[in-house]
Amino acid sequence: MSENRSSKHGNAPRLHVAGSPLAVDAADWNALLARQAAPTPFMRHEYLAALHTSGSAVPDTGWMPLFMLLRQGSELIAACPLYLKSHSYGEYVFDWAWAHAYDQHGLAYYPKALIAVPFTPVPGSRLLARDAAARRALIKAVCHWCRAERLSSLHVLFGDAADQAACAAVGLMQRDQVQFHWHNQHPAQDRPFASFDEFLASLTQDKRKKIRQERRRVRDAGVTFRARNGADMTPEDWAFFYRCYERTYLEHANPPYLTPAFFNAIARSQPGHWTLFIAEQGGAQIASSLIASAQNGNETVAYGRYWGALERVDCLHFEACYYQPIEWCIARGVTRFEGGAQGEHKMARALMPTTPHSAHWLAHPAFADAVQRFLTRESEGMQDYLDQLAEHSPFRRR
């Protein structure tokens, strides 16, 4: 672990740099996370450590961990996961054009600094801090560290509102993405849905008809589902899920980001957060989807994560990834289901658009100016896009 002394005053915060999540005290990290407005299971020490120990997010795969710890005396007052990246894969906030522009001008874009959860486009707290002042001090210290290391850029991905405010306060450029989330809120009444049928009844006729047709095709193919929760999931369940997950990546000619050791690790360390939906046909398991869920203040949130299939069945993807999880959420009173990155088609299934945030700092002044102009135009186009989506609500008009 190295140390960057940002002040000569003895009680001033000091930035420490840990070369591995394993060099960070798990209890301290998780206690700080619990104080945030938007904690998720993916920012827990167990999850980040699993990415490291499994070989999924390590220097050999282009993710060099350098966790940032801001201490005041012996107290950890702020912290964030930081990775030096040699590429832009596994991030879901796309900066390939920026990297290409650097290359065209003979400049090195990589390595860059990334504050994010690898392979996990789930909005939530990224800059863990005791209070707003500590959060601003953390991002300011990290920017200073990036300058000292002569890095091209710093990117904070999928942060919450507090992260966005801290980044804006120290001058980082702001960027919005679009995701689609389902809300367990009856549009005409101030309460959750009582059943999947009631949810369908809230939709327009064409959307309701389409969902029923898609579910019927899966049933008519003889496919049934069963859900396995948390500690009830066996090693055989996880092994079957990985076969499905791996198959999906290989069919797109890409190796999977995550290793079997990663899923084995989170099965041991975070069993209560996971639910697996297993599709069966003729007594054989043919597909699965994995979601996470967690209590977040007064809400329970579910997160769609991964899926895969060993056999092709019409509409099976929609059933496994949307309808089974939504039905599960309604039965358990889950407040929100986040469907993952991108996917305008999700809106037809009543997952509505939302705008997660990212923040960016570029060291080169001319490129920073050019990117700021690009982001301004992109933001205007994003608002137009959201306005167009609002005109195509899947819900019935009151």
Span 250-288, pLDDT tens digits? 998 889 999 999 999 999 999 999 999 999 999 999 999
Q: How far apart are the C-alpha atoms of 141 and 199, rounded to whole Å?
A: 48
Residue 202 is predicted with a pLDDT of 96
Instruction: Write the single-letter amino acid at 301.
Output: V
Find the angle CA(27)-CA(31)-CA(34) to the nearest 5 degrees.
140
Residue 10 is predicted with a pLDDT of 59
Residue 86 is predicted with a pLDDT of 96
Nearest to 276, CA basis, from 316, 239, 228:
228
Average pLDDT value over all residues in the chain: 94
In sequence order, the 6+-apart residues with CB closer than 8 A to the CB of 257 are 56, 61, 89, 90, 118, 119, 249
Q: Which pairing describes strands 153-159 and 112-115: parallel, antiparallel, or unpaired?
A: parallel
Nearest to 103, CA basis, from 360, 367, 375:
367
Instruction: Write the single-letter amino acid at 201.
Output: A
Nearest to 121, CA basis, from 357, 366, 321, 300:
357
Residue range 137-143: mean pLDDT, rounded: 98
pLDDT digits (tens, 9 = 90+) for 180-228: 999 999 998 889 999 999 999 999 999 999 999 999 999 999 999 999 9
Q: How far apart are the C-alpha atoms of 389 and 113, rounded to whole Å?
A: 33
pLDDT digits (tens, 9 = 90+) for 217-259: 999 999 999 999 988 999 999 999 999 999 999 998 889 999 9
Residue 230 is predicted with a pLDDT of 85
* Start and end residues for every CATH 3.40.630.30 domain found in the chain: 2-178+355-390, 180-341
Q: Write down the residue that tokens 């522009």 correspond to.
A: 101
Number of neighbouring beta carbons within 10 Å of residue 165? 15
Rounded to 10°, the helix 96-104/365-390 angle is 150
Residue range 39-43: mean pLDDT, rounded: 97
Nearest to 301, CA basis, from 329, 265, 263, 323:
329
Residue 3 is predicted with a pLDDT of 47
Q: How far apart are the C-alpha atoms of 282 and 385, rounded to whole Å?
A: 44
Q: Write down the residue that tokens 């960070």 correspond to.
A: 24
Q: How far apart are the C-alpha atoms of 391 and 245, rounded to whole Å?
A: 35
Helix (H, G, I), strand (E, B) or coil at 81: coil
Residue 209 is encoded by which pair of tokens? Answer: 């008809």
Q: How far apart are the C-alpha atoms of 349 and 322, rounded to whole Å?
A: 7
pLDDT digits (tens, 9 = 90+) for 81-113: 999 999 999 999 999 999 999 999 999 999 999
DSSP 73: T
Number of neighbouring beta carbons within 10 Å of residue 354? 16
pLDDT score of 2 more than 80: no
Number of neighbouring beta carbons within 10 Å of residue 331? 12
Q: How far apart are the C-alpha atoms of 362 and 56, rounded to whole Å?
A: 27
- Structure confidence at residue 5 as a pLDDT band (50, 70, 90): very low
| Beta carbons of 312 and 301 less than 8 angstroms apart | no
Residue 7 is predicted with a pLDDT of 41
Q: Could you name the CATH architecture of 180-341?
A: 3-Layer(aba) Sandwich (3.40)
φ, ψ for residue 96, nearest 5 deg: -60, -40
Q: What is the DSSP string of 6-29?
A: --SSTTS-EEEEESSGGGS-HHHH
Return the percentage of the chain with pLDDT > 70, whole number.
97
Residue 231 is predicted with a pLDDT of 84
Give this prediction's pTM: 0.94
Residue range 28-51: mean pLDDT, rounded: 97
Residue 247 is encoded by which pair of tokens? Answer: 């198959």
Which tops the pLDDT comparison, 54 or 12? 54
Q: Is 189 exposed, middle or buried (0-12, 13-18, 19+ CB in 10 A)?
A: exposed
Q: How far apart are the C-alpha atoms of 57 and 83, rounded to whole Å?
A: 9
Residue 385 is encoded by which pair of tokens? Answer: 């896009």
pLDDT digits (tens, 9 = 90+) for 303-328: 999 999 999 999 999 999 999 999 99
Nearest to 322, CA basis, from 199, 188, 177:
199
Residue 253 is predicted with a pLDDT of 85
CATH code for the domain defined by 2-178+355-390: 3.40.630.30
Nearest to 33, CA basis, from 78, 91, 1, 82:
78
Q: How far apart are the C-alpha atoms of 362 and 373, rounded to whole Å?
A: 13
Residue range 66-71: mean pLDDT, rounded: 98
Residue 8 is predicted with a pLDDT of 45
pLDDT score of 173 more than 60: yes
pLDDT digits (tens, 9 = 90+) for 127-137: 999 999 999 99
Q: How far apart are the C-alpha atoms of 318 and 331, rounded to whole Å?
A: 19
